[in-house]
């Protein structure tokens, strides 16, 4: 959780969920992260009966997702778990990237070994499926591409239980 807090403190963008504060509980010795309230997630909206996104809506969501990712990447952050349930949407259609629990810092000019056991299976790029441990922003962009295809098709494009 410490890394997630460090990552979130480095990010400040309209399409990245804002960490509002931290709350501790002495009784349970727990730490709670407090975020701005968002009404929906993209996966939940997509799965709703009768919901079919129009091309302009998809374009709007993708522009916001890519803008948020560009901000993360320019700050040296890989999200590493882009999927519909981690993309939150308010009632005005503003999309925010959430859940930085698997995020990590990276330097595009320095090769660093990282785990390949990230990104939810349906959104995992081929290099991670093949066990790559050196990677960059491409893993988030592959996942964003899966989101684009899913929004246009109305269902996940690569559902599966195994690699």
Contact 120, 133 (CB under 8 A): no
What is the C-alpha to C-alpha distance for residues 123 and 11, in angstroms, rounded to an integer? 23
Residues annotated catalytic, as ranges? 81
The answer to whether residue 84 scores a pLDDT higher than 90 is yes
- If one looks up domain 2-153 in CATH, what number appears? 1.10.510.10
Give the pLDDT score at 124: 87
DSSP codes of every residue in 15-79: TB--EEEEEEETTTTEEEEEE----EEHHHHHHSTT----HHHHHHHHHHHHHHHHHHHHTTEE-
Domain boundaries, the chain: 2-153
The answer to whether residue 112 scores a pLDDT higher than 90 is no
The answer to whether residue 97 scores a pLDDT higher than 70 is yes
């Amino acid at each position: 959780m410490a890394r997630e807090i460090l990552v979130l403190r480095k990010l400040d963008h309209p399409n990245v969920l804002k960490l509002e504060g931290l709350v501790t509980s002495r009784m349970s010795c727990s730490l709670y992260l407090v975020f701005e309230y968002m009404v929906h997630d993209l996966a939940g909206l997509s799965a709703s009966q009768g919901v079919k996104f129009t091309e302009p809506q998809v374009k709007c969501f993708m522009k916001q997702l890519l803008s948020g990712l560009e901000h993360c990447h320019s700050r040296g952050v890989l999200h590493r778990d882009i999927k519909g349930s981690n993309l939150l949407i308010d009632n005005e259609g503003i999309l925010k990237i959430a859940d930085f629990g698997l995020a990590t810092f990276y330097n595009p000019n320095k090769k660093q070994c990282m785990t390949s056991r990230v990104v939810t299976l349906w959104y995992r790029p081929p290099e991670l499926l093949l066990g790559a441990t050196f990677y960059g922003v491409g893993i988030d962009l592959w996942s964003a591409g899966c989101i684009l295809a899913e929004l246009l098709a109305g269902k996940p494009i690569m559902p599966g239980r195994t690699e």
